[in-house]
Amino acid sequence: MTVSLTLSGITAHYGTTKVLEDLSLHVAEGELVSLLGASGCGKTTTLRLVAGFLRPTAGSIHLGDRDLTRLPAHARDIGLVFQNYALFPHLSIRDNVAFGLKQRGIGSTARARQADEMLERVGLNALADRTPDALSGGQKQRVALARALVIDPPLLMFDEPLSNLDAKLRVEMRVEIRRLQRDNGRTALYVTHDQEEAFSISDRVAIMNAGRILQLDVPEVLYSKPANAFVANFVGFENIISLRAVGEADDCLTAEMAGGAILKLPKERYEQPGQDFLFATRPDGLLVARSGDGIPAKLGLRTYLGRAYQYRCETAAGEIIANGPLSDPLEPGTDAFLIPQHDQCAVLPVEA
């Protein structure tokens, strides 16, 4: 059974503090959507609202055509995976996995068989009789995953499920989570603060800040075409420069930055959002060169990145971070030019 999840106009408060404001979100059938943001942005609150541990002060939550808004948490039928695994310490691994089946009144032999089958799918059938404290972090999270999947929930939710694991295991587990979610075409909501994790695992990602979704799109679009300065900064556009359009030449838009430097922006790549706008670049989006058609800069501190050198550059528009080739290391104090690499740049509207 695959269904969609719809949140409409959700507002939520902790006491008198507003933590979510008019949040709407649609997760299509079989889709995995991540909520991505720093701590306190409202992503976990959103998940807890859907789970039923919190009540919204306004708005509604629908799973398929079922209205969850006023339904108690235990009746929502959602598979939930927690950051700290949340296994039952006093039950065996098998009984942990079978717990949800027991609540659904399934007989003991049937639920032991189903639990064992699910444990086999996550490769832990040999540990069925152990208790959780005998397991490693990765194994615990597999058990938690099996426990959430075995009740065959129409919606799966993950609350930072990989945060307590080491880096190598994180990559392994996220592939496994994606595989298990895809296998059954399950609708899923995934909460994380890790951009790489969110982008690698999701069909679409919602970037959140201060209780709102700032942009919701496929990772490729978020990565190359952020909609606003916050998202741009979040996905690594470390330089955000104010520009003013001054004219057009050779299929390029010409724009002036503070201090008078002129940038040429190919019209085929950029849609000009207004007279004044922002130009966002990653450090890779500005190539440090001894000469060329770019922003004049005086080089500052140089650091070695392995694939390139990174420079802190002083320009008339303030400090800019740019990368230069390994073949040509430049000394601090050198006068250089920062040449835009347009596949690593974006234009944004000025925010009110």
Task: Output 75 or 167, the one with its CB closest to other proteins.
Answer: 75
What are the phi and psi torsion angles at 50 (to 5°)? -70, -35
| Binding to other proteins, residues 77-116 (CB under 8 A) | 77-80, 82, 84, 86-90, 99-100, 103-104
Sheet hosting strand 276-281, strand order edge to edge: 262-266, 252-257, 239-249, 276-281, 345-349
**What is the closest distance, in whole angstroms, from the C-beta atom of residue 52 to other proteins in the complex?**
8
Task: Output 189 or 280, the one with its CB closest to other proteins.
Answer: 189
**What is the closest distance, in whole angstroms, from the C-beta atom of residue 78 to other proteins in the complex?**
6
Query: For residues 240 and 234, what is the distance between their CA atoms, to the nearest angstrom?
Result: 12
Sheet hosting strand 32-36, strand order edge to edge: 78-81, 155-159, 187-192, 32-36, 204-209, 212-217
Q: Does 304 bind other proteins (CB under 8 A)?
A: no
Q: Which residues pair with 336 in a beta bridge?
A: 297
Q: Does 53 bind other proteins (CB under 8 A)?
A: yes
Query: Which tokens is 143 given?
Result: 């058990």
**What is the closest distance, in whole angstroms, from the C-beta atom of residue 175 to other proteins in the complex?**
24
**What is the closest distance, in whole angstroms, from the C-beta atom of residue 57 to other proteins in the complex?**
16
Where does this chain touch other proteins (CB under 8 A) — which range of 145-153, 172-180, 220-228, 288-296? Answer: 145-153
Query: Which tokens is 330 given?
Result: 């430049």
Q: Does 168 bind other proteins (CB under 8 A)?
A: no
Quickly count: other Cβ atoms within 10 Å of residue 339's Cβ: 16
Q: Which residues pair with 212 in a beta bridge?
A: 209
Q: Does 151 bind other proteins (CB under 8 A)?
A: yes
Binding residues (CB under 8 A) for other proteins: these are 15, 51-53, 72-80, 82, 84, 86-90, 99-100, 103-104, 144, 147-148, 151
